[in-house]
Structure formats: structure tokens, C-alpha cells
Chains A and B, each alone.
Chain A
Amino acid sequence: MPARVVVLGGGVGGTLAANLLKKELGGEATVTVVDSTGMHIYQPGFLYVALDQANALWLARDERTLLRKGVDLVVEQATRIDPSRQTVELAHGGTLAYDYLVLATGARLDRGAVPGYGDSHDFYSFEGALRLREELRRFKGGRILVGVAGIPYKCPPAPVEFVLMLDEYLRKRGIREKSSVTLLSPLSRAFPIESASKLVQPIFDKQGIGLSTFFNVESVDTAKHTVSSLEGESAEYDILVLVPPHRGAAAVEASGLGDEGGWVPTDRETLQHKSFDRILAIGDATDLPISKSGSTAHFEAPVVASRIASLVRGTAPKVAYGGRVMCFLETGHGRATVLRFDYAHPPVPPTPSRMWHWAKWFFNRAYWVAIPQGRVG
């Protein structure tokens, strides 16, 4: 009887892991992806949509078209996991039994955790990006604040990329002189990683972008148009763009499989759940202290697939996750840099250049035919 592998989540990690598992195991396993929408969303594109550089239609594809032949897709919300019975409950009834389970459940936005979140904007969802795009189209000048309302959050470079690209956007529209742009950074510098921050700070200075450090957004007063920090400061805005607080998936939390933030306690090398060997986790869902990003999921998926294949065959696992991540960082005005690092090696980003901007441009377009199918390692 073939092993039953169930993958929860049809994002980059879940889709790639499912495809690699089917390719590796063929008839030795059934592979079932459970996804609540059946649509695969390319989340890095939200940034471009918000800044009017891309059409939102580019961001979504039918998940079925990205899955290898032989991988089953169940379009359903998984509501609960029972690790002792090895089953997954589905929202409309029914359960799926598994021998191995992959939690590729991602992160969910928890806007309600910020008092007064109200009319704040974000570029962390389809709706958020479209709403922000409309707001920016109407904008004729004023104060724009960009802040972070919870840690951890997806794509650490995103707030910095946003302010740098926003600067370019406002200049092109001829309203930069009538506007101020300020990043409210949760840390003592613009970017979480010091080496990248040293690259970014001169660009902030040159472009006249403001930086408030140690500003962890705690609450918003929509009537007074002020945002307050955990550190006891406040700032006034005309447009407030926030990275919303993130949590792990509801099904993970409801099943008692996550920590207090809903993140899956995950072994940093085997990617197995720390309490349940038959459950592995990928990407945003884990509690690992590395970037929550599609890149992380992309590099973790082959490890998860290989380890499950070894478990199914009863052979010694061949690979471990070493913390590999690679992220582009758009610095505006047609330039970008790249951050490549792992558990043992911090990033040494090159000087921003047009080459890395075009590399990201190419990656964005090649994504659909290269990444979910595992054509790029």
C-alpha cells in the first residue's frame, strides 16, 4: 500500500514539496495537497501592484496547473489535525488520513491585534495592495508613514523596499516635494541585517527618506491620524502603511501544534515538528529564526521531500536544511541588491546595481514556469 502524504497549503513550499515528492516516490506514495482557495498567489508581487507597477492578474494561477500529474488537490479548509490518529479534518466534513504530513500553512494576517488598525493600509494581501494602490493614486502630497506592527513578519526587506520604491513613485508623479516618507523601524537601523542596513542608509539620506528607529507600532488613533509605539512615541500621518501582525495558521493553533504565536516548533535541520516525527513544516509556518519568505520555503521544500522519501523507504536521510535563504532587495530607481545567507554565514550584499534589479525582474516573470515545479534548485 502506498504511503499517504498530505500537504497542507498550496503556496510555494507546499506546491514544490508535493511535486518533488511525487517525482521521487511515484507509485510508492499518494500525495494530496489541501488548499483553501485552490489559487496559488505570488505574494512578492503585492509590492508592485500597490505601487502601480504590475497588474494584479499576474499574481494568481490555478494551483492545479502547477501540480505534477498524479498529485491530488483538495480545495478545502483544513480545520484540525490529530497527530495521534494521523488525520486532518476538513471544514465541510470528512477527514484525510496521513502517514506523513507537511505543514506549509503559511502565516495569516492578524490586523485586529493592533488597536485602531482601522483605515491603515498594507501591501500584504491582494485586497490590501489594491486598496493602497487606489489611495496612492488619489494622493496629492502629505505625510506617509510606513511601519511594522508585529514581529515576525513575511519578507523582512519589504518595508524598506516599499519606501525606496515609493520615493521613486512620488518623484515620477511630481509630488515628492510635497510629501514626506518615513520608515518606522522596529530596530536601531533601517534594515534588520546590519550589512544590508549600511547599504540602504546612504540611499535614505540621498533621497530624503526619514527614519524613526526603535518604533514598534502598538496602536493607531484614526481620528487624530497618529500612530503610537511600544516605546512610548507617536507620529502623525496622512497615509499610514503597516506591516500587519502575523500569526501561524488557525488549524495549527486549533490543534495545539504551534507555539504562542501559532508557529510550528520545528527542528532547524530536519524540519520535523519537535514533538511529532511524522509532521514536517516548511516556510512561514515554522518557528525558525530565519526570514519568512518564499525563498526560505523554496530551499526547505527539497529537504522535506527528500526526508519524507527516506522515511517512506526506511533509508537514512540524505539531506538537512542549512538555513539557506536568498532574497532580492529593490532599492528603487531601477537598482537592487541581493541577500544570500544561511545559518552559518551572514549576508554580504553587493552594492545595489541595475543587474540585480533585472535579475529580480526576470525571476518575477520566470517564477510560474520555474519554481513551483522544481526546475530551479
Chain B
Amino acid sequence: MTLTDTAVTKTIDARGMACPGPLLALIGAIRQGQTGDTIAVLSSDAGSKTDIPAWCAKAKHEIIELVEASGYVQFLVRKTH
């Protein structure tokens, strides 16, 4: 398991947060961030694997990488606009 060398602007460690906490934290970070920022979200909630990609598709932000680790998933999301 390795991540790309993309520089991460902000990391949200949402492990232990129940659904939809990780997605809400990501939405908050996108709201406050700048275009081009890369946000890492760590989530142990199973629902995130569905709702984070679904929201990114709707909002047209890019998921650069999705890495499955032990007990959690790490998403790398680029704010595209």
C-alpha cells in the first residue's frame, strides 16, 4: 500500500466517525479550501466507500486515489473548482 507522491493540503482523520461524518468533514474541507488543494480523508466507516465517491462525482471533484488499509480506507480528493 503506497500513496502517490501528491502533496496533501489537509488530512482529515475521520476514523471512528460514523456515517455520514467523514463525508461531511470532506464537504467542510472542500468548502474552506482552495482550487487545486488535495485533501486526504481516512474513514473506517463502510458507507464512505459509497457516499464519498458519489458526492465527488456530483460535485465534480476528483478522487485521485482510494487506498484500502487495515480497518480503514484513505481517499485522496482534489478540489477541482
- Which residue in chain A gives the minimum CB-CB distance to B54? A188
Query: Which residues in chain B, 32-59, are within 8 Å of chain A measured between CB atoms?
Result: 32, 47, 51, 54-55, 58-59
Interface size range on B against A: 20 to 34
Q: B31, A216: Cβ atoms under 8 Å? A: yes
Query: Which residues in chain A, 304-360, are within 8 Å of chain B measured between CB atoms?
Result: 343, 346
Q: Chain A contacts of B17 at CB under 8 A?
A: 289
Q: B54, A230: Cβ atoms under 8 Å? A: no
Number of A-B contacts (CB under 8 A): 45
Q: A214, B55: Cβ atoms under 8 Å? A: yes
Q: Smallest Cβ distance from B66 to chain A, in angstroms? A: 18
B residues apposed to A, CB below 8 Å: 14, 16-21, 23-25, 27-28, 30-32, 47, 51, 54-55, 58-60
Q: Smallest Cβ distance from A150 to chain B, in angstroms? A: 8
Q: B47, A187: Cβ atoms under 8 Å? A: no
Q: A232, B59: Cβ atoms under 8 Å? A: yes
Q: B19, A194: Cβ atoms under 8 Å? A: yes
Looking at the complex, which one of A186, A260, A289 makes contact with B27 (CB distance below 8 Å)? A186
Alpha-carbon separation in the docked complex, A261 to B30 (Å):
14
Q: B58, A214: Cβ atoms under 8 Å? A: yes
Q: B51, A151: Cβ atoms under 8 Å? A: no
Looking at the complex, which one of B18, B23, B32, B60 makes contact with A260 (CB distance below 8 Å)? B32
Q: A231, B20: Cβ atoms under 8 Å? A: no
The 4 tightest CB contacts between A and B, nearest first, are A231-B59, A289-B17, A214-B58, A289-B21
Q: A151, B24: Cβ atoms under 8 Å? A: yes
Q: Chain B contacts of A231 at CB under 8 A?
A: 55, 58-60
Alpha-carbon separation in the docked complex, A192 to B22 (Å):
12
Alpha-carbon separation in the docked complex, A256 to B58 (Å):
36
Q: A151, B19: Cβ atoms under 8 Å? A: no
Q: Chain A contacts of B18 at CB under 8 A?
A: 289, 346
Alpha-carbon separation in the docked complex, A348 to B35 (Å):
39
Q: Smallest Cβ distance from A348 to chain B, in angstroms? A: 13
Alpha-carbon separation in the docked complex, A119 to B54 (Å):
32
Report if A230-B47 is in contact (Cβ < 8 Å); known contacts: A151-B28, A152-B24, A187-B20: no
A-B contact pairs, 10 of them (CB 8 A): A152-B24, A187-B51, A188-B51, A188-B55, A216-B27, A218-B31, A231-B59, A289-B14, A289-B16, A289-B21
Q: Smallest Cβ distance from B27 to chain A, in angstroms? A: 6
Given contacts A186-B27, A214-B54, 6 further A-B contacts (CB under 8 A): A187-B24, A188-B51, A193-B19, A231-B58, A261-B28, A289-B17
Q: Chain B contacts of A152 at CB under 8 A?
A: 24
Looking at the complex, which one of A193, A230, A261, A343 makes contact with B59 (CB distance below 8 Å)? A230
Q: Chain B contacts of A218 at CB under 8 A?
A: 31
Report if A230-B51 is in contact (Cβ < 8 Å); known contacts: A187-B20, A214-B58: no
Q: Chain A contacts of B23 at CB under 8 A?
A: 187
Q: A232, B31: Cβ atoms under 8 Å? A: no
Alpha-carbon separation in the docked complex, A81 to B31 (Å):
29
Q: Smallest Cβ distance from A211 to chain B, in angstroms? A: 14
Report if A151-B54 is in contact (Cβ < 8 Å); known contacts: A187-B20, A194-B47, A232-B60: no
Q: B27, A230: Cβ atoms under 8 Å? A: yes
- Which residue in chain A gives the minimum CB-CB distance to B19? A194
- Which residue in chain B gives the minimum CB-CB distance to A347? B18
Q: Smallest Cβ distance from B39 to chain A, in angstroms? A: 14
Q: Chain B contacts of A343 at CB under 8 A?
A: 16
Alpha-carbon separation in the docked complex, A80 to B54 (Å):
42
Query: Which residues in chain A, 220-245, are within 8 Å of chain B measured between CB atoms?
Result: 230-232
